[in-house]
Structure 1
Amino acid sequence: MAESSKPSSSKSAKSRAERGADVATQRTTKGGSFQASPEAKSTALKLRIVAMVLWVAAIGLEIFTIVWALLPDKPVNTWLIIGLIVGIAVLTLIGSLLWKKANRYDPASEKDKVRFFVQNQLGVIMTILAFLPLIVLIFLDKNMDGKQKGILGTVAIAVAALVVVFSIDKDAPSVEQYSVETNVVKELTGADQVYWTKNGSAFHVCAEVPDLSRSKDIQSGSVTAAHEAGIPRLTKKWVSEATKNCGYTTADVDRVLGNVDDVNRTLDEDQVVEQSGELEVAPEVADEEPADEEPTTAPTTRTPATSTR
């Protein structure tokens, strides 16, 4: 029945596309493990040293604020405390941004989950250390009335929360991610060369993809260079882009994917459609239909992957 053949077809196409997204997000490590170059390690070390110096200075300023402006039995200058809070925030934030940048040059491994978390979220930890004692002592201070405590406490909490938001690394890099992405790109294209735009959310395996077509400033370089430029990941659409826009065949993609059965990632929202209550790969994303099956819907204008050049 046509009813039974359609799920089989969509499952096959979905499996291939989902495996592409899966490989791009660390489910396969074929090809070796990423190692930061000596130059990258040196750059990361310098950034981390500067970040630590700034964090130490921020905590020192916090201690100064507590000991000099809050603890002594004297009236508290509201504007002075606010100025000191802002100073602590600036030092902490710059340190966090530098630390995150250092992790792009020399990422941690996910195998040690504690170290991975601490290394990537150290900016948040240092922000808490730089603000929490100060916030607590503001509300416990006996030299301020309720209004002063409310103003200074609110300012300190708001500023600390803002710094935390910018310190969190939501796209924390890892050795495994760099390994997979580099291996995928090398296996598919034969070179460690990817393409991106300055404010892009992902990098691509060729410059001819639609996501880059609207930009006049397409940058290129290695996977590591893309991460160093602030691009968080290889696009999850690399499978469809490779065959539709970059001139690679389905066989080229299959060579990269190999036997990847651990599929637990979904496609991007714009890559799936709902049919009969079930999610299926959108026609413009799925690879070509199997040759031995009759299409159950009107043919699309999509060019088959194996006919690209």
Structure 2
Amino acid sequence: MAEKKKPATSRAKRGAEVAETKTTRGGTFQASPEAKSTALKLRIVAMVLWVIAIGVEIFTIVWALLPDKPVNTWLIIGLIVLIAVLTLSGSLLWKKANRYDPASEKDKVRFFVQNQLGVIMTILAFLPLIVLIFLDKNMDGKQKGILGAVAIAVALVVGVFSYDKDAPSVEQYSVEANVVKELTGKDEVYWTKNGTAFHVCAQVPDLSRSTDIQSGSVSQAHEAGIPRLTKKWVSEATRNCGYTTEDVDRVLGSVDDVSRTLDEGQAVEESGTLEVAPEVADEDPADTDDTVPSGVEEPAVATP
């Protein structure tokens, strides 16, 4: 039976301290004047589209539902679709604006409203219409069922696409920028057009298959629609990008949330405290392959 190694605690302690500090030691992200200007323009257009959508909703209610006359099913469906297009277009533009100029998580109410305003506007654009469809006295049960079902289905689709499940924040941008600058010495990351994360160097496996690798700052990556720094940055830094474990250790002492900078499964909770897993703390920087060379004894794995 292999002798258990005593868990190295330097990374774990640093990771725990970093997770508990809740401060960004490397600086707080601030959107550039250009980014703020772009975000403002996008938000203005989004608000205009939402106002028009609500105007179409009011028109539909006042002109097509409330008067004592037969209701044209296809006309109402067409107006519902128009409301959906206007509302969703506004929501997508608003979400894009938040990538340029994110809110802070410190103000939880503002953070929620700013990031989920598209959902709120979807409710305002559809809920009164849906209620009045079912209360309308000029329609029979079948017509109410058809129009009500269409309106609810369309509203749900718009609401799902308006919801921002990867809502950006000042804190996230700050952590990611500080990680990258501390590790590489500059605010530069790499991604592909349809990627789901950006990376600290261009030599990582996730980018090696692409012929269209883009680069820029952390904020530019978010502006391009890339939601986050890869969760594999720790292993990529040492395995693919030429950085050492000491380089990674230095980074873990400069960011405010270790769970945002480690791979899946590399952060563990011990007695209510978030720490770097012991096997990560013991990681040998020279071990860059998944297999152990022939003739070399495989080291014992530290027990968490």
Name the TM-score class by shorter chain.
0.7 to 0.9
Cross-structure match for 1:34: 29
Paired residue for 2:114, among 114, 119, 125? 119
Cross-structure match for 1:130: 125
Paired residue for 1:204, among 194, 199, 221? 199
Paired residue for 1:152, among 147, 150, 171? 147
* Offset of residue 169 of structure 1: 0.4
* Offset of residue 30 of structure 1: 1.7
Cross-structure match for 2:89: 94
Cross-structure match for 2:49: 54
Task: Say which is worse superposed, 230-239 or 79-88, in terms of deviation.
Answer: 230-239
Taking the aligned partners of 2:23 and 2:252, their CA distance within structure 1 comes to 9
Cross-structure match for 2:161: 166
Taking the aligned partners of 2:158 and 2:175, their CA distance within structure 1 comes to 32
- 2:69 aligned counterpart, secondary structure: coil
Cross-structure match for 2:218: 223
Structure 2 vs 1, CA of residues 261 and 233 (structure 1 numbering), >3 Å: closer, same or farther?
closer
* Offset of residue 288 of structure 1: 3.0
What is the count of residue pairs matched by the alignment?
Answer: 280
Structure 2 vs 1, CA of residues 282 and 215 (structure 1 numbering), >3 Å: closer, same or farther?
farther
CA offsets, 1:60-85, max 9 Å, x none?
00000000000000000000000000
- The residue identity in structure 2 corresponding to 1:134 is L
- The residue identity in structure 1 corresponding to 2:66 is L
Cross-structure match for 2:73: 78
Flag structure 2 segments of 5+ consecutive residues without an equivalent. 268-275, 294-304
Cross-structure match for 2:292: 300
Taking the aligned partners of 2:100 and 2:257, their CA distance within structure 1 comes to 29
Task: Say which is worse superposed, 117-126 or 258-267, in terms of deviation.
Answer: 258-267
CA offsets, 1:95-117, max 9 Å, x none?
00000000000000000000000
Deviating above 4 A after TM superposition, structure 1's stretches of 4 or more consecutive aligned residues are 11-16, 259-272, 280-283
* Offset of residue 32 of structure 1: 0.8
Alignment of 1:193 with 2:188, yes or no, is: yes
Alignment of 1:44 with 2:36, yes or no, is: no
Tell me, yes or no, if the aligned pair for 2:45 and 2:90 is still in contact at 8 Å: yes
Taking the aligned partners of 1:82 and 1:234, their CA distance within structure 2 comes to 42
Structure 2 vs 1, CA of residues 60 and 255 (structure 1 numbering), >3 Å: closer, same or farther?
same
- The residue identity in structure 1 corresponding to 2:208 is S
Structure 2 vs 1, CA of residues 287 and 196 (structure 1 numbering), >3 Å: closer, same or farther?
farther
Give the alignment's TM-score, normalised by structure 2.
0.83
Taking the aligned partners of 2:43 and 2:163, their CA distance within structure 1 comes to 16
- The residue identity in structure 2 corresponding to 1:241 is E
Structure 2 vs 1, CA of residues 189 and 266 (structure 1 numbering), >3 Å: closer, same or farther?
closer
Taking the aligned partners of 2:254 and 2:41, their CA distance within structure 1 comes to 41
Structure 2 vs 1, CA of residues 286 and 213 (structure 1 numbering), >3 Å: closer, same or farther?
farther
Structure 2 vs 1, CA of residues 211 and 131 (structure 1 numbering), >3 Å: closer, same or farther?
same
* Offset of residue 281 of structure 1: 7.3
- The residue identity in structure 2 corresponding to 1:300 is V
Paired residue for 1:240, among 228, 235, 250? 235
* Offset of residue 300 of structure 1: 2.4
Tell me, yes or no, if the aligned pair for 2:57 and 2:126 is still in contact at 8 Å: yes
What is the root-mean-square deviation in Å for CA atoms of aligned residues? 3.1
- 1:220 aligned counterpart, secondary structure: strand
- The residue identity in structure 2 corresponding to 1:98 is L
Flag structure 1 segments of 5+ consecutive residues without an equivalent. 273-279, 292-297, 302-309
* Offset of residue 216 of structure 1: 1.2
CA offsets, 1:139-196, max 9 Å, x none?
0000000000000000000000000010000000000111111111111111110000
* Offset of residue 27 of structure 1: 5.4
* Offset of residue 210 of structure 1: 0.8
Taking the aligned partners of 2:152 and 2:192, their CA distance within structure 1 comes to 36
